Structure 1
Amino acid sequence: MLKFLCFTLLISTASCDVDDFVLPKYSTAMSRAVIDYIVNYFYDKSSTVTMYHISQPENINKNLDMMNEILYHVKTKIVIQVDSLMDVKLSTRKRISNIIFVDSFESFKIIHEKMDYNHFEFQGYYLIVVTSHVYDIYLKMMRIFEALWTNKIINANILFMPQENTNDAILFTYFPYSNYYCENVVPIQLNHFRGDSWMRKINYFPRKLSNFFGCHLRVATFNNPPFMIIKEDENGVITVDGVEGILLRVLSQRFNFNVDLYLPQTLWGSIYKNGTSTGAVKMIVDSEVNFTLGFFASIPIRDAVMQPTSVYYTTNLVWMVPPGKPQIALEKLTNPLHKVVWIMSSATFIIGFVVIVVVKMQPLIIQQFVFGNKTQSPAMNFISVVLGNSLHQVPMRNFSRFLLVSAMIYFFIIRTCYISGLVKFMQMDTRGQHLMNTAEMVRDNFTFYIMGASRDYVLEMPEILEREKTLLVHEFNSKLLDMIVDPYYDGAFLTSIDHLAYRNFKVYPKMFHEFAPTPVFTLNIVIYMNLGSCLRLYFDEMLMMLVSSGLINKWASGFIDSRYLKKPVDDELKILSLDQLEGAFQLLVGGLFIGFVAFCFENLIGRNLFNKFKSVVAKELSNC
């Protein structure tokens, strides 16, 4: 029909002189009001406006005439796209600015049934033009607004022409929250078009959720320190604290709403392939609550069934791993010096003995030049210098003294550095390096323990899924975390770095949890709400203000002490215990054992060998 009218207009124009052609005038107040609406609002706010129309058969021509007139007068000002109801779901583009022409509530229902979240931006802008005189218009408007409210479409206005005056057009809207009601639909007159202009200048789509007037919003959350801490006093009054607890209080104060807490037993909940869900997710999907928060990270599987706000906090998922295996007592004695220093010192010691052996093979005059006169045991003198003992007789020659002083200075420095750090290192709980990444845990055949909701973060990591054990809410307890403190435990627990720091703060110094520093997944924390929720834009504005001002990070620092990501070092010197001196005792026992073996060898085996050698020599001499 629209094509036929355009063709008729083209033929009529071509059959008459150009001088006789007269531009059509605005025929009704409705047309003039819609044109003014488009020119003064949509022109600055949107690049494209989508028009729809549906009506009873007897009113089709009337709707088309009005649309043609409007299209003609705004064609040079803005792009107007006229969509068919049959093509609504063929396009992937979401409609933001919409003008809908209907002649009754029944006609509107047909369009409303086509409106879904994938093809319409529910927080876009909607003008419903009622083109026919409708009895009980107030009741019909209420039913239209109620239908829109089911989709949480609040930026919606209805324009109609009163039956008593065709030169007027009245614009109505609704506010879902007010001083007198909550989540209700009451049509309110927004403006009046009379003659060729609106009676007053207004914002066509005022902000409707800046104030909830003390109405109650339903919030799904659960105890999840340090982000959400739920407290109940002796009178049964529940309060919230923690990073997100403070955020919830700030939002309720800023937007003036009261909070009704819903505590899901299965916490975050899960989303299954068959479309079902549990926990807080189910409450959102089923519209049992208005929004949920509780360390919810935005991921595609959740974004498909819920609507996230802007990201207001970012953190990393890491593996809580067993600490490194403790060092043996003798190994602790090597800690004061770096491996390179030990290598250099050992090399110096060996070179010294090699020089002594080589010089001992030289003539006496060279030995006296290097070792000095009357030096009977240069090897023992060298050991005395290394250990810092005094020499009973010092060499007389200058070259010998130079070698002696050089060795004494070098080993004095090394010995002083070693002794100064030895007491501190003997008191420390020194361990080997713990596992640093997922690959090392896979190599050691670790079991990965994951909370049910956290499993969604590792769905694309088969090396983890092959070894993971999913923990349901009732299966998780702190005993598992206590077991991971055992250095010989072959399991790791997936947690956020903030939760780990918070737990360390609570349990230190009784225990301390280590973590693999390589992140498993980066979490972008958001608030989730229903798809198309009218709260998102308002919450986003507030969240961006809080993030840019640094307030959320400030709140987080009050509950999360990042210093507890690294085990605190106790610098206070204490009295050494027998356990800490175990390495020294082992070294002593080892030295005594070696000395005893050498003594036995010298007195038993060595003497027999000497006597045998002496007899062999005597026999050979007698034969001669």
Structure 2
Amino acid sequence: MKKFNLILISLLLVNLGVCEKNTEKSYKIPKVKFGNPLSKAMATIIKTFYSIESTQLTIVRAADNHENEILQSGIINEILYDVKGLILIRLQSYDSREHSFRRYFNVLVVDSYESFRKILNGGGKDAFDFTGYYTIILTSVVENYREEVYKILKDCYRSYIINANVITFDPSNIEKAFVFTYFPYTTKHCNHVKPVVNGVFENETLAMYSKLFSNKVSNFHRCNITVGTIEYPPFMILKYQGNGSYYYDGFEGIITRVLGQRLNFSLILKTSVDRWGVVNGENSTGLSRLLLKGEVNFTIGSFAATFSHNGSFTNTISYYGTPLTLLVPPGRAYTHMEKLFLPMKYIIWSCISTIFILSAVVVSISKFIRPHRRAFIFGRKNYFPYINTINVFLGGVVPITPMRNFARFLLMLWILSSLVIRSSYQGSLFNFLKDHRNASIADTFPKMIKEGFKIYGSEAIRKYFSSNDVYLSVFRNISVRELEDYKMKSTTPGFKGAVVASAFNIAYLNEKYHSHNIRFRRSKEQIVLLYICIYLRKYSYLTKPFDKELWRYVESGLINRWLSVFYNKQYLKDTPDKSIPQALTFDQLSGIFMAYVILLVFSFMVFLLEVLSRKSRVLRALCNFLN
């Protein structure tokens, strides 16, 4: 009770001081007493809105002179008395730079437009969150009060403060207060600030004509919104319609169209030859520069949420994630003979070669043993055991079967082994020829570094390699105009480099060039996972309506539906499924023809050896031994 008496006495002294000095105004304000319409209206707003939506409220004041400071103190004290601890209220000086968070729920007490600017500029750029809620109390009473209200609300709109109300006296009746606000998009005007009376405080009652902080950007009434984007299939596909208009197609083109239909706005297109560009303050380029300068309202087209953009822009929720990876060349093509030997590992070929060598040794040794013992191993009348061994291995028949059980057992064992090896080889060879495989594909970062590869990408991609000096040293910045050319170069075996691209884009390219028999290969390792979003200006009032709509599209499955129109995961596989069988080409079977030619040459040399053996006893003895 003692504290209350002290507060009451101090308020009375303050009010007396105000009355003595206030003699030069056109509209004289009487003693400030409990019941001031400004404080009463503000107290009602705190009770009905701020205390419900938040646990803390910041009150900041600024005045042009000491007299108005005293007046504001009285109004603030009365507000504190009326709310009676419903909410934690923080009193802050306009020039205070000590803030651990941006102020979201705010009451600004000012006496003019200039003092309003003092508050916005005094605390630094991180003092306020302009997407929050602002109630401005204009304590002075002047004839052109509407002009003051207009300038304050116009500055609010320039700063993207869409949730703003101004409370001021009615000059003709100081027991009455008006609540002004503005609606930038209506059926009568677009992108324009026109203060309107949204509420009146009179007879101890605050009557609002609409919600205190109504949703002003849920319907743009076909007003123009400028979008910054680029032609970048399959994310954004621009189709010129004539008369300066475009049809937005592609995955994000559909999102852009639907946003315009749902929020009822028209689109104006702006693009840039530097595409996405880089964010670097005044030296920013591309679409990033257009957004930073305020020439576009938002940008869309394969923009990924990154920390480097957080200080300059605001982004929506991420509605899709795609790996950022590398397009790698197919590697050296296999030679004709390599294609014949690759279906089986070297250890299998070693075993087969060992068997044939041992067979040749056994046959050679058998030349020096008696015929009946040789017949026990090879069978009778088997004059060409080694040739028969090769014949059975290749699927031929034995003209004379052995009579002995041991010889028959050896023959059956060899037939069974040959059948398994031959069938496995044929199946593996067919799959190998069908898959169009290449040798030595550098599809990992260590392999690329070892092969001396360069990594090509736009300037905006460089930041993803900055954490590793080795990878950063091989990164080469190329212009966005060269990017598509380098992607096509990555399909040639002799290209010593890799091109940065998203998995979404790679699948689209494979589907696009599938009929041309051109395939784009990606690395096994990914650089980073890109979270695709829409970028807007800092504190943009478009953020909330866009987020609300995008959440609906994600939760309803529409994003996946639109994505499936342009994205087929089958085209990311190394060997995509083919529904139509394709005939083997001569190039695929050239190895067997080369082997046939080699064997013909070998046969011709043997023929020459037999012809020359008629004139040489040594050659004749060699031929007889081999026979």
Calculate the TM-score normalised by the size of structure 2: 0.85
- Structure 1 residue 479: deviation in Å? 3.9
Q: Kindly report which structure 2 residues correspond to 1:169-568, keeping only aligned pairs within 5 A, or say none.
A: 169-199=177-207, 203-233=211-241, 237-272=245-280, 275-337=282-344, 342=349, 369-373=376-380, 375-419=382-426, 422=429, 425-426=432-433, 429-474=436-481, 476=482, 478-510=484-516, 511-566=518-573, 567-568=575-576
Kindly provide the amino acid, as one letter, of the partner of residue 264 in structure 1: S
Bigger drift between 362-371 and 98-107 goes to 362-371
Pick from 34, 43, 46: which aligns with 2:51?
Answer: 43
C-alpha distance in structure 2 between counterparts of 1:283 and 1:345, whole Å: 69
- Structure 1 residue 155: deviation in Å? 0.6
C-alpha distance in structure 2 between counterparts of 1:80 and 1:576, whole Å: 81
- Structure 1 residue 149: deviation in Å? 1.1
**Do the aligned partners of residues 473 and 204 (structure 1) sit closer, same or farther apart at CA in structure 2, a change above 3 Å counting?**
same
Specify the alignment match of 2:41 in structure 1: 33
C-alpha distance in structure 1 between counterparts of 2:87 and 2:429, whole Å: 81
**Do the aligned partners of residues 83 and 520 (structure 1) sit closer, same or farther apart at CA in structure 2, a change above 3 Å counting?**
same
C-alpha distance in structure 1 between counterparts of 2:56 and 2:299, whole Å: 34
Specify the alignment match of 2:74 in structure 1: 65
C-alpha distance in structure 1 between counterparts of 2:615 and 2:312, whole Å: 88
**Do the aligned partners of residues 361 and 90 (structure 1) sit closer, same or farther apart at CA in structure 2, a change above 3 Å counting?**
farther
Q: Is the 8 A contact 1:92 1:118 kept in 2?
A: no
- Structure 1 residue 231: deviation in Å? 1.3
Q: Is the 8 A contact 2:56 2:87 kept in 1?
A: yes
- Structure 1 residue 352: deviation in Å? 6.0
Kindly provide the amino acid, as one letter, of the partner of residue 66 in structure 1: I
Pick from 154, 158, 178: which aligns with 1:150?
Answer: 158
Residue deviations 1:242-280 (CA, integer Å, cap 9, x gap) = 1111111111111111111112222212233x6421221
SS in structure 2 opposite 1:494? strand
SS in structure 1 opposite 2:438? coil
Q: Is the 8 A contact 2:198 2:208 kept in 1?
A: no
- Structure 1 residue 118: deviation in Å? 1.9
SS in structure 2 opposite 1:519? coil
C-alpha distance in structure 2 between counterparts of 1:573 and 1:148, whole Å: 66
Q: Is the 8 A contact 2:508 2:568 kept in 1?
A: yes
Specify the alignment match of 1:114 in structure 2: 122
C-alpha distance in structure 1 between counterparts of 2:512 and 2:564, whole Å: 15
Residue deviations 1:276-301 (CA, integer Å, cap 9, x gap) = 21221111111111111121112222
Residue deviations 1:300-338 (CA, integer Å, cap 9, x gap) = 222222221111221122111111211111122235556
Specify the alignment match of 1:84 in structure 2: 93
- Structure 1 residue 594: deviation in Å? 3.9
Q: Is the 8 A contact 1:112 1:147 kept in 2?
A: no
Residue deviations 1:155-175 (CA, integer Å, cap 9, x gap) = 111122324444433322111
Note the aligned Cα RMSD (angstroms).
3.4
C-alpha distance in structure 2 between counterparts of 1:577 and 1:351, whole Å: 37
Kindly provide the amino acid, as one letter, of the partner of residue 509 in structure 1: S
**Do the aligned partners of residues 611 and 77 (structure 1) sit closer, same or farther apart at CA in structure 2, a change above 3 Å counting?**
closer
SS in structure 2 opposite 1:142? helix
**Do the aligned partners of residues 583 and 146 (structure 1) sit closer, same or farther apart at CA in structure 2, a change above 3 Å counting?**
same
Specify the alignment match of 1:127 in structure 2: 135
C-alpha distance in structure 2 between counterparts of 1:67 and 1:236, whole Å: 54
- Structure 1 residue 501: deviation in Å? 1.9
Kindly provide the amino acid, as one letter, of the partner of residue 140 in structure 1: E
Q: Is the 8 A contact 1:336 1:425 kept in 2?
A: yes
Bigger drift between 250-259 and 341-350 goes to 341-350
C-alpha distance in structure 2 between counterparts of 1:144 and 1:236, whole Å: 36
Aligned residue pairs, count: 596
C-alpha distance in structure 2 between counterparts of 1:316 and 1:456, whole Å: 16
C-alpha distance in structure 1 between counterparts of 2:347 and 2:253, whole Å: 52
Specify the alignment match of 2:18 in structure 1: none
C-alpha distance in structure 1 between counterparts of 2:373 and 2:83, whole Å: 113
Kindly provide the amino acid, as one letter, of the partner of residue 28 in structure 1: N
Q: Is the 8 A contact 1:332 1:430 kept in 2?
A: no
Residue deviations 1:61-114 (CA, integer Å, cap 9, x gap) = 221122123224435321111111231x23231001111112222322221323
Kindly provide the amino acid, as one letter, of the partner of residue 321 in structure 2: T
* Structure 2 portions without partners, runs of 5+: 12-31, 623-627
**Do the aligned partners of residues 354 and 117 (structure 1) sit closer, same or farther apart at CA in structure 2, a change above 3 Å counting?**
farther
Kindly provide the amino acid, as one letter, of the partner of residue 195 in structure 1: N
Bigger drift between 500-509 and 415-424 goes to 415-424
C-alpha distance in structure 1 between counterparts of 2:172 and 2:561, whole Å: 61
Residue deviations 1:402-448 (CA, integer Å, cap 9, x gap) = 33223212312332343456456556633225211222111111122
C-alpha distance in structure 2 between counterparts of 1:611 and 1:333, whole Å: 35
Q: Is the 8 A contact 1:498 1:560 kept in 2?
A: yes
Residue deviations 1:195-229 (CA, integer Å, cap 9, x gap) = 34333596321111001111111111121111111
C-alpha distance in structure 1 between counterparts of 2:528 and 2:265, whole Å: 35
**Do the aligned partners of residues 74 and 328 (structure 1) sit closer, same or farther apart at CA in structure 2, a change above 3 Å counting?**
same
Specify the alignment match of 1:17 in structure 2: none
Kindly provide the amino acid, as one letter, of the partner of residue 533 in structure 1: S
Q: Is the 8 A contact 1:333 1:426 kept in 2?
A: no
Q: Is the 8 A contact 2:226 2:269 kept in 1?
A: yes
Residue deviations 1:574-611 (CA, integer Å, cap 9, x gap) = 66555444212221232344445566677569956589
C-alpha distance in structure 2 between counterparts of 1:605 and 1:469, whole Å: 71
SS in structure 1 opposite 2:598? helix
Bigger drift between 30-39 and 147-156 goes to 30-39
Q: Is the 8 A contact 2:570 2:577 kept in 1?
A: no
**Do the aligned partners of residues 601 and 134 (structure 1) sit closer, same or farther apart at CA in structure 2, a change above 3 Å counting?**
same
Kindly provide the amino acid, as one letter, of the partner of residue 393 in structure 1: I
Bigger drift between 459-468 and 211-220 goes to 459-468
C-alpha distance in structure 1 between counterparts of 2:4 and 2:559, whole Å: 59
Bigger drift between 316-325 and 401-410 goes to 401-410
Kindly provide the amino acid, as one letter, of the partner of residue 515 in structure 1: R
- Structure 1 residue 345: deviation in Å? 5.1
Q: Is the 8 A contact 2:95 2:122 kept in 1?
A: no
C-alpha distance in structure 1 between counterparts of 2:581 and 2:301, whole Å: 43
C-alpha distance in structure 2 between counterparts of 1:264 and 1:594, whole Å: 67
* Structure 1 portions without partners, runs of 5+: 14-23, 614-624
Bigger drift between 150-159 and 425-434 goes to 425-434
- Structure 1 residue 478: deviation in Å? 4.3
Specify the alignment match of 2:21 in structure 1: none
Q: Does 1:588 align with 2:619?
A: no
